[in-house]
Structure 1
Amino acid sequence: MQEFDIAIIGAGIGGASLAAMLADAAPGRPVLLAERESFPGYHTTGRSAALYSVLYGNATVCVLTAASRAFFNDPPPGFSEHPLLTPRGVLYVAAEVGSDAVREVRESAARTGTRALPLTPQEAREMVPILHPGPLREALLEPDAMDMDVHGIHQGFLRRAKAGGVDLRSDAPLLAASWDGSTWTLTFPDGPVRARKLVNAAGAWADEVARMAGVPTVGLMPLRRTAMMLDPPPGFDIHRWPAVIDAAGSFYFKPDAGMILASPADETPSPPCDAQADEWDIAVCIDRVQNAADLPVRRVSRSWAGLRSFVADRSPVVGPPALHPGFFWFAAQGGYGIQMAPALARVGASLLDHGVLPPDIADAGVTVADLSPDRCYGD
């Protein structure tokens, strides 16, 4: 039976980035990266809106996103032939002055040292002329937000993992897992393997993997998020527009390959599945965007949905449960997995091998307890 030091379940952005960091730290180390689908990233990674914003997410997410920027700006040689980030900017808009939502954006900017420039409604409309003046009361610009090359980032991590000796297997759903006190026996369609540590990077299926392994679940909540492509408004050059995000979280839209990518920022509870866009959510998106902007919608050229998986506090779950040290969570990355992937993967690799956080992450105020699965189990 083939033996591995570490077996990672799930080859989306989480599993791929962690595998790459482990391979960088110890090339040739026996690591298995098992993906249930025919190609990695099918369910969530490949359906991302591809926006890097340090101000998008809670305090822990913002720190990890900010700590990932250096990697994106200067990836390792051969990681990608093209830039991973390209300028976009994000315009946060609000329908009332001094709202809690705007205050939270300001606090995130202060905490991470990120520029968040206050704009008058008129200045915001000069940047995005289709914004209606009525519901626009306050605006903040994050000028350093970027578009991300999601495919390039994901494939770069997979290539780096494989170059470091990681055994990547597709069409390899985990069928059973048993622990004998020192080693896992993991059953896949092509037979069993053994592993010293089992890493649960299974995205929306992470609680199911935990149940299979006999480990307490963390209360993972897969939430469906809808997106669609709309024709651009006639008579406007949209290419330099920033992304527009409602600070209260009811919609966002941004230029994307000559079209407008829009979402109602919905969070509909869903079982783990191949999520599909719902007609009602499409209609809600159109209504919310049109209430904020003069964007005629003659047709929806394409729509899709993905699952964003959270626990109650909306921070990632990374680390081993106290009572199950051979099992390692790397899950609950929500809709932020790609933008914080380099830093979170460093966190995972450091906790796996040394039980501590990288110094820069710890210095930024994130603690092991902030990420530990034990926080999800209560008293």
Structure 2
Amino acid sequence: MTETCDFLVIGGGIAGISAAAFLSETARVIVLEAESTTGFHATGRTAAIYIRNYGNATLRALNAAAHGFLEQPEGVSETSLLSPRGELMIAAEDELAMLEAYVAGASGMERLTAREAVELFPILRPELIAAAAFERDAMDIDVDRFLQGLIRLMRQRGGRIVTEARVETLARTDGVWTATTPAGRFAAPVVINAAGAWADPVALLAGARPRSITPMRRSAAILPGPEGHAFDSWPLVASASERWYAKPEAGKMMVSPADETPVEPHDAWADEMDLAEGLYRFEQAVTMPVTRVETSWAGLRSFSPDRTPVCGFDGEREGFFWLAGQGGYGIQTAPAMARLTTQLCLGGTPDLSPATIAALDPRRFDGA
């Protein structure tokens, strides 16, 4: 027996679940998730922070468009998904150009002296800071409450999630896509490819041209917090060239080497060498010794060649919709991407500018 719906979403991360929740207001939606639970890969391994100025111009437009929903997530949570954090960016002498490039075009960023930077993150070594900038409005995101609220909303609207349903075949006949999985067969006129690191393999199953969506491993570790400091309210701090970043995390200190290693899609784990090098760079920048790693992990951040997500219908495979390549911006852009997906799939008028929509269109790669 084949179960039918209006939209078949492949991928149960924040991208697929948010699109499904928005679409399910007026359409029948089924989400197929390969793992035993939703949010298993990138969604569950995120730094969980909203930074308005993070990313290129297209991503900054998405960040801005998503803020209102994250602040007032109607139907998902009764309270804001955001809480104060702040982002402090510091630059050594050889990183000044990178800091300038980041600040260019940014909004709401304050330039700070080394002394002012240390006041915000007191274990920094001031003699190593040539310049600094601070985004006061950067916020922590409650990712679990966000994801679970979307799931609850989708189910209230009649949507369904099928886990352990890795797509094995995907074919279109008479205007309908049929996906075969270990959990059964599912069919819909439109398939939404929200498979994250597996977006290109899913496209190949559908006979669509891959968009060179490349998974890149990023590692992170939890360290004991700095002794003698009340640090829970400190901001996230990052080096301007992304050699490392750190933020308080539930009474500990999370540190990442900000690595980006291209890998095949898989259940990622932290690379010991990348982690060791990143922790060394962090230790050189602060007065806190790294005595032990309490736990470590890694996630896959998947990028298109121009580091901008793809969101739109495939130019060659009818009814095949791309929602992928979110890189490290997937959580904070999810509401904007889900809204655009819904508008494009249902024939509505998009809220985003034509330039932003064109920058996201997967057909931009067709002539490459």
Query: Same fold, TM exceeding 0.5?
Result: yes
| Alignment counterpart, residue 165 of structure 1, candidates 134, 158, 164 | 158
Counterpart code for 2:81: L
Corresponding residue for residue 48 of structure 2: 50
Kindly indicate whether the alpha-carbon contact (under 8 Å) linking 1:10 and 1:35 is maintained by their aligned counterparts in 2.
yes
What is the rounded CA distance, in whole Å, between the counterparts of 2:21 and 2:101 in structure 1? Answer: 34
Counterpart code for 2:114: P
Corresponding residue for residue 77 of structure 2: 80
Kindly indicate whether the alpha-carbon contact (under 8 Å) linking 1:219 and 1:376 is maintained by their aligned counterparts in 2.
no
Corresponding residue for residue 96 of structure 1: 93
Corresponding residue for residue 329 of structure 1: 322
**Secondary structure of 2:331's match?**
coil
Q: Does the C-alpha gap of structure 1 residues 95 and 265 become closer, same or farther in structure 2, counting only changes over 3 Å? A: same
**TM-score, normalised relative to structure 1:** 0.93
Kindly indicate whether the alpha-carbon contact (under 8 Å) linking 2:162 and 2:183 is maintained by their aligned counterparts in 1.
no
Q: CA deviation at 1:98?
A: 8.2
What is the rounded CA distance, in whole Å, between the counterparts of 1:107 and 1:163 in structure 2? Answer: 44
Corresponding residue for residue 348 of structure 1: 341
Corresponding residue for residue 376 of structure 1: 365
Kindly indicate whether the alpha-carbon contact (under 8 Å) linking 1:309 and 1:334 is maintained by their aligned counterparts in 2.
yes
| Alignment counterpart, residue 308 of structure 2, candidates 310, 315, 337 | 315
What is the rounded CA distance, in whole Å, between the counterparts of 1:121 and 1:367 in structure 2? Answer: 36
Corresponding residue for residue 302 of structure 1: 295
Corresponding residue for residue 21 of structure 2: 20
Corresponding residue for residue 278 of structure 1: 271
Q: CA deviation at 1:97?
A: 8.1
Show CA shifts across 1:274-313 (max 9, x none): 0001111120121110121112111100100000000111
What is the rounded CA distance, in whole Å, between the counterparts of 2:323 and 2:96 in structure 1? Answer: 34
Q: How well do the aligned residues superpose, as a CA RMSD in angstroms?
A: 1.5
Q: CA deviation at 1:248?
A: 1.3
Show CA shifts across 1:50-106 (max 9, x none): 1110111111111111111111111114x2355411100010111138833222322
Structure 1 residue 178 corresponds to structure 2 residue 168: no
Kindly indicate whether the alpha-carbon contact (under 8 Å) linking 1:172 and 1:188 is maintained by their aligned counterparts in 2.
yes
Kindly indicate whether the alpha-carbon contact (under 8 Å) linking 1:357 and 1:367 is maintained by their aligned counterparts in 2.
no
**TM-score, normalised relative to structure 2:** 0.96
Q: CA deviation at 1:336?
A: 0.6
| Alignment counterpart, residue 106 of structure 1, candidates 100, 103, 106 | 103
Counterpart code for 1:15: G
What is the correspondence of 1:194-213 to structure 2 with a 5 Å cutoff? Answer: 194-213=187-206
Kindly indicate whether the alpha-carbon contact (under 8 Å) linking 2:217 and 2:263 is maintained by their aligned counterparts in 1.
yes
What is the rounded CA distance, in whole Å, between the counterparts of 2:291 and 2:242 in structure 1? Answer: 25
Corresponding residue for residue 60 of structure 2: 62
Show CA shifts across 1:347-376 (max 9, x none): 111111117532xx21xx643321111122
Runs of 4+ in structure 1 over 4 Å off: none
Q: State the percentage of identical aligned residues.
A: 43
Kindly indicate whether the alpha-carbon contact (under 8 Å) linking 1:311 and 1:332 is maintained by their aligned counterparts in 2.
yes
Q: Does the C-alpha gap of structure 1 residues 375 and 260 become closer, same or farther in structure 2, counting only changes over 3 Å? A: same
What is the rounded CA distance, in whole Å, between the counterparts of 2:132 and 2:22 in structure 1? Answer: 38
**Secondary structure of 2:284's match?**
helix
What is the rounded CA distance, in whole Å, between the counterparts of 1:165 and 1:366 in structure 2? Answer: 34
Q: Does the C-alpha gap of structure 1 residues 76 and 355 become closer, same or farther in structure 2, counting only changes over 3 Å? A: closer
Structure 1 residue 220 corresponds to structure 2 residue 221: no
What is the rounded CA distance, in whole Å, between the counterparts of 1:80 and 1:39 in structure 2? Answer: 21
What is the rounded CA distance, in whole Å, between the counterparts of 2:37 and 2:81 in structure 1? Answer: 21
Counterpart code for 1:72: L
**Secondary structure of 2:60's match?**
helix
**Secondary structure of 2:328's match?**
coil
Q: Name stretches of at least 5 consecutive residues in structure 2 with no aligned partner.
A: none
Show CA shifts across 1:115-163 (max 9, x none): 1011111111111111112320101110000111111111111111111
Counterpart code for 1:8: V
Q: CA deviation at 1:181?
A: 4.6
Counterpart code for 2:6: D
Q: Does the C-alpha gap of structure 1 residues 96 and 366 become closer, same or farther in structure 2, counting only changes over 3 Å? A: farther
Kindly indicate whether the alpha-carbon contact (under 8 Å) linking 1:200 and 1:331 is maintained by their aligned counterparts in 2.
yes
**Secondary structure of 2:12's match?**
coil
Structure 1 residue 235 corresponds to structure 2 residue 228: yes
Task: Name the stretch that deviates more: 191-200 or 208-217.
Answer: 191-200
Counterpart code for 1:220: I
Kindly indicate whether the alpha-carbon contact (under 8 Å) linking 1:17 and 1:341 is maintained by their aligned counterparts in 2.
yes
Counterpart code for 2:21: A
What is the correspondence of 1:32-47 to structure 2 with a 5 Å cutoff? Answer: 32-47=30-45
Q: Does the C-alpha gap of structure 1 residues 266 and 97 become closer, same or farther in structure 2, counting only changes over 3 Å? A: closer
**Secondary structure of 2:17's match?**
helix
